[in-house]
Structure 1
């Protein structure tokens, strides 16, 4: 997991592919887009713009991915994300290979991060995370999740 702010993106220490993906997403002006999927570089890099109301963590399940890196950037509102290290997911459903996600009921040694607008958090494949959790009370948020094919980092 990597945590940072877009205003200091150049000093965040991200792999060049990840920095480029986040820069592409910001250039696409996600704050002005309707909810949905937008391709930035075919199926290798795309973004999902979403708007929803945060929920209690007990009402949500954690997710993890195998093929894609998640860069979650908060645009409006306030959001808490619970997460764990690779291998911390417990009581998981089967992996949905085609959509690259697996849902889990538990994260061992769970940690939390709170996002304000302009902050991002990056999750590598295998790192369980439960986004969209309340901070104080349910809050309407808008965010963008930039999906980067993990194999791009090894090329």
Structure 2
């Protein structure tokens, strides 16, 4: 997992493909878009804009991906993201190969990240994460999740 703020993106040291993905997503002005999927470079690079109410962590399951890197960028509101390292997911459900996700009920040695607008968190394949958790009380947030296919890291 990598965490950062947009105001330090130019000096973040991110691999070029991840920096480019964030730059393309920001250029598409996700803050002005309705919820939905928007292609940035076809199936290998796209973003999902979403708005939803944060929930208590016990009401949510963690997610993991195999083929896509998740760049979670908070646009408004605050959220906590619970996460763990690769291999820390427990009590996992069936893998949904076509949609590239697997839900899990527990994360061993779980960590928590407090997200504020302008922050991003990057989750690599196999790293469980539970976004959209309340900070102090439920609130509506708007965020964009940029999906980067792992093949772009080796291109």
TM-score by length of 2: 0.99
The structural deviation recorded for 1:12 is: 1.3
- C-alpha deviations, 1:63-82, integer Å up to 9, x for none? 00000000000000000000
Kindly indicate whether residue 80 of structure 2 is the aligned counterpart of residue 68 of structure 1: no
Secondary structure, counterpart of 1:41 in structure 2: coil
TM-score by length of 1: 0.99
Structure 1 runs of 4+ aligned residues shifted over 6 Å read: none
CA distance in 1, matches of 2:25, 2:146: 7
Unaligned regions of 5+ residues in structure 1, if any?
none
Q: Spell out the pairing of 1:1-150 with structure 2 (5 A cutoff).
A: 1-150=1-150
Unaligned regions of 5+ residues in structure 2, if any?
none
CA distance in 1, matches of 2:79, 2:109: 20
CA distance in 1, matches of 2:57, 2:94: 21
Q: Higher mean Cα deviation, 7-16 or 78-87?
A: 7-16
The structural deviation recorded for 1:11 is: 1.4
The structural deviation recorded for 1:9 is: 0.4
Calculate the aligned-residue CA RMSD, in Å.
Answer: 0.4
CA distance in 1, matches of 2:13, 2:128: 22
